[in-house]
Homo-oligomer: A and B are copies of this chain.
Amino acid sequence: MESTENEPAPAARRHHGNRHRRSEEARISVLQAVDGLLVEIGYARLTIEGIAQRAGVSKQTIYRWWSSKDELLMDAFSKDASDWMIPSDTGRLRDDLRAHAQRVAEFMANSDAGAVFRALLAQAQHDGDLAERLRSEFLVEQKTYERLPLEAALQRGELPQNADPDLLAAQVFGPIYYRVLVSGETVTPAFIDALVDLTLANTVASGSRPGS
């Protein structure tokens, strides 16, 4: 079975699937409470009771619809994440790569959605299931988009045939994630430019070799 899964949106009240009448109001105010509290007090002090109170909702309602704090965060995150993913496509590899790298850096380091993402990534270090969900629901797609400009360029012949978009993307984006998640250094435009230039200089000169 496969459903369109999108909110029908008009007035309506389709009562999709098996649920009878879940309160959309409650759902939304919970997710907003999560967003708000995460920014205001941080993940460490985020509690189900706090969320329930802030949302004006009973704990039971939260437990009815989400199985854990992390799943709640996943939901709150999905709501906001998609805006940041899609790369521009100007037809000029260098520009597209720079622009998307800049966008990813901005998302990771400075956006509210990025804050939630970092929290989730942190939890994923302790929780394999969450890690798996996070990957399948977000990272796979994210990675696809990071590869996109390179694959387009390959198609256009802007890169040598043997260039490996996966590997090239890793060399551009890996260091960005590292700075945000590990070293805490700010990701400057100059750093991004250098990464992109170095990566492209290389492939133009020699082609890239296959990765794992």
Known: A177-B178, A206-B205, A212-B190. A171 touches B195 (CB 8 A): yes
Chain A contact residue count (CB 8 A cutoff): 56
In the docked arrangement, what's the CA distance between A177 and B184, Å?
14
A118 contacts which chain B residues (CB < 8 A)?
A: 125
Q: Is the interface of A mostly helix, strand, loop or mixed?
A: helix
A172, closest chain B residue (CB): B171
Of A12-20, A51-59, A196-204, the one with at least 4 CB within 8 A of chain B:
A196-204
Verify if A131 is at the interface (C-beta below 8 Å from B). Answer: yes
Chain B residues with Cβ below 8 Å from A198 are 167-168, 171, 202, 208-209
Q: A195-B170, A202-B201 are in contact. Are A184 and B125 (CB under 8 A)?
A: no
Contacts of A139 in B (CB 8 A): 182-183
Pair A174/B167 contact, Cβ less than 8 Å: no
Query: For chain A residues 103-119, which have a beta carbon within 8 Å of chain B?
Result: 118-119
* Interface pair A194/B209, CB less than 8 Å apart: yes
A175: chain B residues within 8 A (beta carbon):
170-171, 174-175
Residues of B within 8 A of A42 (CB): 126
Check: A11 CB closer than 8 A to any chain B CB: no
In the assembled complex, how far is the CB of residue A39 from the closest CB belonging to chain B, in whole angstroms?
13
Pull 16 A–B residue pairs with CB atoms less than 8 Å apart, ordered by A: A43-B125, A121-B181, A132-B184, A139-B183, A167-B194, A171-B171, A173-B178, A174-B174, A174-B178, A178-B178, A181-B182, A187-B212, A188-B212, A194-B210, A201-B206, A201-B209
